Chain A
Amino acid sequence: MSTGNEFEQFRKTFFEECQEILSDLDGLLATLAADPSDRECLNAIFRGVHSIKAGAGAFSFTRLVGFSHNLEAALDGLRDGRIAGTDQVTQLLVRAVDTLAAFVEAAQCGAEPRAGFGDELSRDLLRMMETGGEERPIASAAPKPEAATASPAGALSRFRIRFKPHWEMFRHANEPLLVLRELRQLGTCIIACDMSRLPAINALDPEESYLCWLIEIETVASAARIEEVFEFVEDDCDLMIEPMDGIEYPVASPAEEPAIPGLVAGEPEEAAGVVRANGGEEGAGKARGNNVSSIRVELSRVDRLVNMVGELVITQSMLAQQIADLALAQGSQAVRGQEDLAMLTRELQECVMAIRMQPVKSVFARMPRLVREVSAKLGKPIRLVTAGELTEVDKTVIEELADPLTHMIRNAIDHGVESPEMRRAAGKPEEGTIELTALHAGSNILIHVADDGGGIDRDRLFRKAVEKGIVSANAKLSEEEIDELLFSPGFSTAEKVTDVSGRGVGMDVVRRNIVKLGGRIQVQSALGKGTRFTLVIPLTLAVLDGMIVAVGTERYILPLTSIIESYRPHPRTVRVVTGGMQVAAVRGEYVRLVHLHDLFGVQDAVTDPAQGLVVLVETAQGNKIGVVVDELIGQQQVVIKSLTDNFDPVRGISGATILGNGRVALILDIEQLSAMSPRTGSERLVPLPVDVAA
């Protein structure tokens, strides 16, 4: 495994942990609001925020680090009693945690929150620290971030110290001045006194402590040595000692205004020239919708569960078969028990499958950034429209979708959408539109990537394919076949190779990835109007409602969702058109008949549709074909097993399943069947010996 993968893995783990922490924080904040003195709870919140900060630091999410740092500082104040746990404070914390979540989400999507996002809240937090939680805002202008002074030379290090004596300190006969003097002996100090809490003289309580000192010290001494200075007073004051290197703090002029410790404002360079993506806005702007409490489970455990439930379903249907064979009276205990078992098994299976389902949002959310980058690079303004983000699909599918979608969107911008000049000339708006939509269709999820660009120039595509030796110049190809050329390996029609796309390593890889998922990719295009790619991917890689059909001794599964009807045709409604192609008339429509025994070389099968059955099926594109089979065996929910884990894709077959008797049956791929042409006799497979009974 490469380091890149490992890094990606760590990154993923980090975000998973963040989600976990954030959802914990919600609950903890509620507890804290109910009882502000709950130290356990406060500590837990602090730890959570700290973990996020530490992780974010490791991945250099600067702004996330900055914000969590401020929040952490405020929590620390709350923890050591500098800030009172008022309602205002807890409300502020709730808002801060929401903002933190937005920062996390933005970092995860790779989007940049708008400049200045969270700054206001940071200031509120810090003001809260100044005022100790009472709403008594200091009249200070928003601090401008300034670079810290040059880094210390030699072994010098810089610390920021915030020292706020309690009134008890005076009672214990300690003098702040002595402490400050001692500090000065350690190194160069800039000492500022915060007198903002000092009341008017008539309201002044001589025994109260109103002052707070902010010290910046440049010293060779260690943090421990500095702490020693405060040894005798540390129980009677609020003390914060932080190293100043590494993170840059804004330095307010010490004389006039209290420095605001720990404020890390948004980096100014990010403010300029950053185009805001939809995702960024969404990522940072809205409150997190994901506050469902959850646990993190290793995927392999879920997979084991899925597998075992799959086996359970098989065993259950086997048992059902055996009970049926016993021909027991309806309502007998065994029959009732088996019916209950069947229902429970099905429900269990649904529950297990639901564990793996997730909305496609996580993939879609990465696309605005991509569009923004590519559109900027190519100088083509693009509007990305997404829909159906909440469509749920198996987690494995989601993970595998990111790469193909990235390729396709990149291609759509680079090859699909024309330059602004060309668009203007064609009477289109200069801004190109790319639509990314997800929707459920039966047991599939359909993902459309559509552009309103120039469409596929089939003549040019064909010429290019001839040039590259992919097809011969004499080949007569249908429009669909020409479109298919897009998916040939090493094919690229871009006039010039750009660093965005155009190396021809796009669509063939996309198709391979989609096929690996048991899906298909289709393309529809109208010259001058645009191109639409459709990914048809099974919702889950695991279960399918199927119709078992018999062809000779073979058993195949047809996906139930694609079946319209089955019937035995009258001989007069079936006729041969050309080259052995048969069509059947169904209510005024003509559909092509596909003989499975012929496509798959099955012996001893019914060859005359009028003697067998025609199963009318519809492809995802809406084409109807009649699949000729011997008979229907029955309907069954089957667990889909990948054929391609250990074998290459087989045309016409989308996967396999294990029947109640333990035998493997093949699941038919309707789309591919509809595109397969009848075999010629010479290709017929040599029959295999059948010897041992199963």
Chain B
Amino acid sequence: MATEFESMTSQIATLQSGASVSGDVSQFISFRVGEEEFAIDIMAVREIKGWTQTTTLPNQPDYLLGILNLRGTIVPIYDLRCRFGLGLTIATRTHVVIIVSVLERTVGLLVDAVSDILTVRGDAIRPIPDMERQGSTQFFSGIITVNESMVVLLSLEALFERAVAALPDLAA
């Protein structure tokens, strides 16, 4: 299991060096949360690891599962399913944490499984249909079609701007 994640992580690192990408092409990591496929920009991904028990941080929103030790760095772990309002993930050994860099922070996203690495032309990314921006749709930045199924692109920035704002203010 561990070696599988390690090889995935090193594969991502290779892709990030940009060797195989040219022109108007972006690469994404797709993963599964519940029944749905999501994807995030591969450049944001630092590492993929298996789920380990986190330490609870007091008085935080439910979707913040807690923090864990990533080789000496304290990293908060977010439950994406819960963030999307689909209830808490009952995390097991088979669950995956994607460590990403967003807004100068390193955070972990708990997902059910990592699916694939997608290479997508810029014009293949379709906008989210114009709908009322509420609930979790505000975190979506586009839709791509892969093998006749839809994958929703997540904006990590939107996700974490909200997460930061939702936290209690220390000065309050």
Binding site for B on A (CB under 8 A): 307, 310-311, 487-489, 508, 511, 515, 554, 599-602, 641-643, 645-653, 656, 658, 662-666, 679, 683, 685-686, 688-694
Assembled-state Cα–Cα distance A679/B168 (Å):
14
User: Apart from A489-B171, A647-B107, A651-B170, what are 12 other A-B pairs with CB-CB below 8 Å?
Assistant: A554-B55, A602-B56, A642-B74, A643-B74, A645-B106, A646-B75, A648-B167, A648-B170, A666-B58, A688-B56, A689-B88, A689-B90
With contact pairs A649-B170, A658-B69, A689-B88 given, residues A663 and B55 touching in the complex (Cβ less than 8 Å): yes
Counting residue pairs across A and B whose Cβ atoms lie within 8 Å, the total is 110
A694 / chain B contacts, CB cutoff of 8 Å:
52-53
User: B92 contacts A648, CB within 8 Å?
Assistant: no
Say whether A515 contacts B170, CB under 8 Å: yes
Closest Cβ of chain B to A141, distance in Å, is 64
- Given the complex, which residues of A lie within 8 Å of B76, measured CB to CB? 646-647
Q: From residue 28 to 54 of chain B, which have CB atoms closer than 8 A to chain A?
A: 51-54
A692 in complex: contacting residue of B57, B75, B92, CB < 8 Å: B92
Q: How far is the CA of A255 from the CA of B19 in the complex (A)?
A: 76
- The answer to whether A653 and B75 touch across the interface, beta carbons within 8 angstroms, is no
Q: Do the beta carbons of B91 and A691 come within 8 Å of each other?
A: yes
Q: How would you classify the secondary structure of chain B's contact residues: helix, strand, loop or mixed? A: loop
Instruction: Check: B80 CB closer than 8 A to any chain A CB.
Output: no
A542 shortest CB reach to chain B, Å: 11
- Find out whether the CB atom of B88 lies under 8 angstroms from the CB atom of A645: no
Q: Determine how close the nearest CB of chain B comes to the CB of A301; give it in whole angstroms.
A: 16
> CB distance A601 to B59 under 8 Å?
yes
**Which B residues have a C-beta under 8 Å from some C-beta of A?**
51-60, 62, 65-69, 72-76, 88-93, 105-107, 164, 167-168, 170-171
B55 and A646 contact, CB distance less than 8 A = no
Closest Cβ of chain A to B89, distance in Å, is 8
Interface of A, helix, strand, loop or mixed by DSSP: loop
Q: Verify B107–A666 contact, CB threshold 8 A.
A: no
Which residues of chain B have C-beta atoms less than 8 A from A649's C-beta?
Answer: 170
A693 contacts across to B, CB distance below 8 A: 53
**Distance in Å: Cβ of B18 to nearest Cβ of chain A:** 23
CB of A646 within 8 A of CB of B107, answer yes
With both beta carbons as reference points, the residue of chain A lying nearest to B61 in the complex is identified as A685
Report Cα–Cα, A136/B68, bound state, in Å: 76
Known: A646-B76, A692-B93. A652 touches B55 (CB 8 A): no
Contacting pair B58 A664 (CB below 8 A): no
Tell me, rounded to whole Å, the shortest Cβ–Cβ distance linking B56 to chain A: 6
Flag if B164 contacts A648 (CB, 8 Å): yes
Bound CA span A642–B88, Å: 27
Q: Which residues of A contact B92 (CB under 8 A)?
A: 691-692
B29 to chain A, nearest CB (A): 20
Q: How far is the CA of A694 from the CA of B91 in the complex (A)?
A: 13
A515, A650, A658: the one within 8 Å of B60 (CB): A650
A648 to B172, CA, bound (A): 14
19 contacts between A and B (CB under 8 A): A307-B72, A311-B72, A508-B171, A602-B56, A641-B74, A645-B106, A646-B107, A647-B57, A648-B164, A651-B170, A685-B56, A685-B58, A685-B59, A685-B62, A688-B62, A689-B90, A692-B51, A692-B53, A694-B53
- Known A642-B74, A688-B66; contact A651-B59, beta-carbon cutoff 8 A: yes
B62→A664 contact, CB < 8 A: no
Q: Which residues of the other chain, A, contact B54 by a CB distance below 8 angstroms?
A: 664
Residue of A with least CB distance to B107 = A646
With A646-B74, A647-B76, A649-B170 known to touch, is A692 a contact of B91 (CB < 8 Å)? yes
Which of A645, A652, A685 has a CB less than 8 Å from the CB of B74?
A645
Q: Which residues of A contact B60 (CB under 8 A)?
A: 650, 685
**Structural contact, A686 and B74, CB atoms closer than 8 A:** no
A406 to B55, CA, bound (A): 38
Give every chain B residue within 8 A of A647 (Cβ-Cβ). 57, 67, 74, 76, 105, 107
- Tell me which residues across on chain B come within 8 A of A650, comparing CB atoms: 57-60
> How far is B105's CA from A554's CA once the two chains are assembled, in angstroms?
25
User: Closest residue of chain A to B71, judged by CB?
Assistant: A311
Residue from the list B55, B65, B72, B105 in contact with A665, Cβ < 8 A: B55
- Does A645 contact B67, Cβ atoms closer than 8 Å? no
- Which chain B residue lies CB-closest to A487? B171
Contact B74 A664 (CB under 8 A): yes
B54 to chain A, nearest CB (A): 8
Find chain B residues with CB under 8 A from A600 CB.
Answer: 58-59
How far apart sit A511 and B167, CA to CA, in the bound complex (Å)?
18
A428→B17 CA distance, assembly (Å): 68
Question: Which residue of B has the minimal Cβ distance to A643?
Answer: B74
> Could you say which of A488, A601, A656, A683 contacts B67, with CB atoms under 8 Å apart?
A656
